Amino acid sequence: MENDALATEAPYAPVTYGRRVRNDLEDTLPKPYMARALAAPDVDHPNGTTSHNHNGMTVLQQHVAFFDQDHNGIVYPWETYAGFRAIGFNPISSLTISVLINGAMSYPTLPVGWIPSPFLPIYVHNIHKAKHGSDSGVYDTEGSTGQIHTERTMAMTEGNRITYDFFGWITTKLEWAILYVLARDEEGMLSKEAVRRCFDGSLFEYCAKMKEGGHGKMG
Ligand code: HEM
């Protein structure tokens, strides 16, 4: 009975055998249940990305800060576009993605009123309000991160679908598809480290530097 209390699998729910719960996090990660505000840790990086400055922002704010080109706390569609160009996406993809991202995320982040802004600004301060359903759950509703265990991302985006959450299904797929295009290796694999660094935004800084140095993958 005592062992049952710690069981992570239920015989009558085969899905709990397929989607295993890790029980070794505490070996390397202190307080794995505690959401981190400033860092995106995993078992191999218990302190997050130490080379990356959090500037006092939540991990989700750090995720989008790269796109705030003029550092005024607002990401306009043309800044999203410039950010995507800087990390190597072509003009057509960059334009399409920036219209979709700012189109979907501007409104919930607006600081005052009910009226949408025609310029589609995204307010970094309120980015936690742009969180949607059917996601990985790594970011919590305040924009902090829990532990990241993302070995099987595509299966995860299927498995995390919330019923009738069409917006969440599509947005989550899109986010993971963009990450895949950006960070896959020669064998078409997405490394766990690329995923972790996407969460805290340090991946984008890295990709922009690579692109600047002429190592950009997407030309
Ligand atoms: C190359 C650029 C980008 C990539 C690869 C990317 C990828 C991702 C990924 C993989 C997630 C995690 C989704 C999940 O937890 O299942 C995510 C979440 C998020 N991203 Fe991005 N993203 C990018 C750019 C942006 C931009 C420009 C913004 C807005 C300015 C943004 C806002 C968000 C928000 C608000 C979330 C939280 C969604 C949630 O957890 O519900 N991202 N992104």
pTM of the model: 0.93
Render 49-110 in DSSP notation, one character per residue.
-TTS--TT--HHHHHHHTT-TT-SSEE-HHHHHHHHHHTT--HHHHHHHHHHHHHHHHHHH-
Q: What residues have CB less than 8 Å from 119, skipping those under 6 apart?
A: 76, 77
pLDDT for the residue numbered 1? 59
Atom 33 (ligand 1): residue with closest C-alpha?
Answer: 64
Q: Is the CB of 58 under 6 A from ligand 1?
A: no
Q: Is the CB of 198 under 6 A from ligand 1?
A: yes
User: What mean pLDDT, rounded, does the chain reach?
Assistant: 91
pLDDT level of residue 120 (50, 70, 90 thresholds) = very high
Does residue 150 have a pLDDT over 70? no
136: nearest Cα among 123, 155, 164: 155
Q: Is the CB of 74 under 6 A from ligand 1?
A: no
pLDDT level of residue 148 (50, 70, 90 thresholds) = low
Apex 159 CA angle, 19 and 17, nearest 5: 20
pLDDT for the residue numbered 154? 67
Average pLDDT on 102-115 reads 96
pLDDT level of residue 219 (50, 70, 90 thresholds) = very low
Q: Is the CB of 196 under 6 A from ligand 1?
A: no
- Rounded CA-CA distance 174/133 in Å is 13
Atom 9 (ligand 1): residue with closest C-alpha?
Answer: 175
Does residue 149 have a pLDDT over 80? no
What are the tokens at 211? 């692109």
- 45-76 pLDDT, tens digit each: 999 999 999 999 999 999 999 999 999 999 99
- Rounded CA-CA distance 60/145 in Å is 8
